[in-house]
Amino acid sequence: ALRRRRFSPASASLRRAASGGGSSWRSERRLMSELERTVTAGAAERVIRGYVGTKSERAALAALSRLLMDSDPLAVPFYEAVTQARWFKWSSIHAAAVAALLEANGAEEESRSLIADSAARLESGADLALFYCDLMAAFSSRGLKRRAMDFYAQLRAMPTPLAGGGKTYMAMIKSLCMMGLAAEAEEALRVMLSLGYQPDAFQFGLVAKCYGKAGQLAEMERVIASMSDAGIRLGTGAANIVLSCYSACREHGKMLAWLKKMRKLRVTPTTKGYNFVLNSCPTVVSMARELDPSLPLSAAQLVRKLKSASPWPAEAEVVQELLAASSVLTKAMVWSETEVKLNLHGFSITSAYVLMLQWVDALKVDRTLPLEVSVVCGVGKHSDVRGEPKVRELAQEVLSRTGSPLRLSARNKGRLVAKRDRVKHWLATEWTSMVPEESTDQSTNSSDQQQCLPNLLRKLGQFFSSFVPVSR
């Protein structure tokens, strides 16, 4: 019998389905809920057979992928039910994923049997090579690197060049990168080029990211530079990979040079790149988390404070260069005849703070505002941190310190809103940090006293504002 536990794999799948989307979302959610209520293996298998027998191929495969993603043991009987469906078509990716899950759960014999049966049904060398690549990826993703290396050895033992052409080499590069074998992946990339197959930016990006994650920045830069030799233009994907690697190593000097190169090549930063850059700036991260009384309330104040107080030499210049690019703000701002909206979904706490400073500056420049002004910050549904939504808390705090009229909407607790006239009056005023920068050298007791009153007033303001929500 299946032993039900409080945090069973099925309940993890249920939570993931509850926050998902797409056409099969509701049916997946019902399936996970039913599986969560089953108490025996037989009951679970009956639920699975009923689901696979009545749902479309797309819905069934989406549910299988979700169970595999959550490492749910019920993925195995689900896969067995799928193989018996009238529409079943064998999939290398699914077979490899189920085999890896079986081995990870200690069912080595069943795993090897599934692999042998799958390999026996493959008629071409190209299909077998792709299957080995999928096995490498699936086993390495579950930490079974020794087994993944076995499949790599079997792949290398096949006649070269590998059957299947460029498709096989692309799959091989991806799997090697998942295994952390950057040098081997780069060699496969060279072989692919020498055979006349044309890789795309994605393959170069995978190899570069693999080097970058290992801290081998020189090798990463070399791979990115080789893209132009292959006739591939630098795009946002490769640019973000470089930013993420520099971010992980806090290489602000190299990051600054890269941002300038992006501007020269007209490659604009994306939300993801914006997060990478700002999350690597320790001083800004500390500001957004601590929200002390000297928090800068404009982009100009932020840059000045970084230049005077940051122990990281290039941090201020990096932030200044990022602020000069308005592409992220332009995409996050939505203008219509009735509303101008700043959408903070997808931004980290640090990025949301800096973006709000840019947003206020933009509003001050363009006074032709529509009827309403709003900030959409969400309620923390997609956050990894439980409790009060951190981005919403930050948005309320920063706006309240500037005297902003924006308040939580009565209908949407993830949206701050205000009418045009009140926003215009607010933008016409000037505001600064609660504590001047010059006062930071005062004694500890004095600093504590200065922080106490503003923090108390802030908390009281947040408490009373919850009783006077704005409509809509």
Burial of 447 (0-12, 13-18, 19+ CB in 10 A): middle
Residue 309: which of 430, 433, 397, 396 has the closest Cα?
A: 433
pLDDT of 16 reads: 45
Which segment of 29-33, 46-50, 146-150, 167-171 scores lowest on mean pLDDT?
Answer: 29-33
The answer to whether residue 163 scores a pLDDT higher than 50 is yes
- Residue by residue, DSSP assigns 173-220 as HHHHHHTT-HHHHHHHHHHHHHTT----HHHHHHHHHHHHHTT-HHHH
Burial of 207 (0-12, 13-18, 19+ CB in 10 A): buried
CA gap 243, 256 in Å, rounded: 10
The arrangement of strands across the sheet holding 415-419 comes to: 333-335, 339-343, 372-376, 415-419, 407-408
Domain ranges of the chain: 12-223, 268-379+389-429
Which phi and psi (to 5°) does residue 402 adopt?
A: -90, 0
80-114 pLDDT tens trace: 999 999 999 999 999 999 999 999 999 999 999 99
What are the structure tokens assigned to 349, written together? 């706490």
29-86 pLDDT tens trace: 888 888 888 878 888 899 999 999 988 899 999 999 999 998 999 999 999 999 999 9
pLDDT of 380 reads: 56
CATH 1.25.40 fits domain 12-223: yes
Which phi and psi (to 5°) does residue 274 adopt?
A: -60, -45
**Which residue carries 């032993």 as its tokens?**
3
**Which residue carries 């009735």 as its tokens?**
338
Categorize the per-residue pLDDT at 9 as very low, low, confident or very high, splitting at 50, 70 and 90.
very low
